[in-house]
Amino acid sequence: MENIDKNYLGAKVKKLRISKGLTQEDVAKALNVTPGYISNVENGRNLMTLRMLSYYADLTGVSLDYLAGSIDKNYEKTALDNEILKLVSHLSPDEKEKLISTLRIWTKDTKKSR
């Protein structure tokens, strides 16, 4: 997921709270936090935890994706690389050699078809 900018998230949380007709006190009571905490989030001094974001999304009737934003494309690439590394780490040395040979053949075929 992209790095969440505190000011962006705070502004979004505040705008959503106001659009739903809620006060900071209403939100604080519903989330079992202090109004000061909500103020700090809205002013970009704090970020909500994932759990708190989930509760806030439920309270305001929006999705967690809406609050957090979209997935950063670089994160997707890194996640795929990490998954490949995890899977390969469990292979025997012989299996790794076979995989390397297969990948070399596959990448040559892919380059030719472009």
Distance CA 114, CA 107 (A): 11
Tell me the CATH number for domain 6-68: 1.10.260.40
For the chain, the domains span 6-68, 73-112
- Looking at the whole model, is its pTM more than 0.75? no
Are 60 and 20 in contact by the 8 Å Cβ rule? The answer is: yes
Are 38 and 24 in contact by the 8 Å Cβ rule? The answer is: yes
**How do residues 4-61 score in pLDDT, each as one tens digit?**
567 788 998 999 999 999 999 999 999 999 999 999 999 989 888 889 999 999 999 9
